Chains A and B, each alone.
Chain A
Amino acid sequence: MTEGSAEAVPPAAETMAYAEPRDVAAVRSFVRAAAVERGLAPTRADLLVLAVSELTSNTLQHTAGGGVVRLWSDDRRVVCEVVDGGAARSFGQMPSSDSHRGRGLAIVTRVVDKVSTSTGPDGTVVRVQMDR
């Protein structure tokens, strides 16, 4: 978990917007297809899909609007960013199994190789990545 993301988003990034709960299934299809096409093993792509599904659902549950997903890759990893107008997120520990809430972001940190986030005047970017 690191703060800030100095790297720029490459122009070749694929993007998809989401605005309501029924869009989240389409986001999952988009991320799965793009990640597999970029060479991530299907079982690894499924973990990235779960993380992005949690992040986009978090936007729709806790902010006033929707957001955008960006995905790109290089020779080492597949990177996905979830951008929304919400406040900074905190990625805490997994709550106890009988707890009612607080699992979404904890799941994200458990299933991807790296999570980083940055918050500015335009909102919050959460970047997750899977190594190849």
Chain B
Amino acid sequence: MPNFEAKTSTDGDWLVVALSGECDLAVQAELAAALGDAVGRSRAVMIDLAALTFLDSSGIHELVTAHHASRERDGRLSVRNATGMVATVLEVTGVGELLGSKDGDGDGIVAP
């Protein structure tokens, strides 16, 4: 089983969802629930991918779905700290650019 986890915390104006482990079809519902909850609670959601080791199209699908849900609330959902294959998937799909993917601590992205 993928050792997937989604942990939510606050960082200034942002609600941060830190993902870890492997994110695939087996945990898609868990990811959808975590992102849906975050978007419902805050108009500024930052997804931290520093500890995520795998991401595929099922996870990308949930990120895009949450992005649209956030936009409907005049909010914003961004990703940061993607490395390795996770960064590759975000780049290949163009979704990293859509979600303002940043290295480092996300400085430069302004909460809505």
Contacts and interface: CB of A to CB of B under 8 A. Distances in A.
Interface residues of A, number: 27
Given A94-B92, A100-B61, A103-B61, A25 B56 contact: no
A97 B57 contact: no
A55 to B, nearest CB: 11
A76 interface: no
A28 B57 contact: no
A104 interface: yes
Prevailing SS type, chain B contact patch: helix
Nearest to B55: A50
B109 interface: no
Interface of A: 21-22, 24-25, 28, 46-47, 49-50, 53-54, 57, 60-61, 94, 96-101, 103-104, 106-107, 110-111
Interface of B: 1-2, 22, 24-26, 28, 54, 56-58, 60-61, 64-65, 67-68, 84-85, 88-89, 92-95, 97-98
Given A50-B88, A110-B92, 19 more contacts: A21-B24, A22-B1, A22-B26, A25-B24, A46-B84, A47-B88, A50-B89, A54-B56, A57-B25, A57-B56, A57-B57, A97-B93, A97-B94, A98-B67, A98-B98, A99-B64, A104-B57, A107-B57, A111-B88
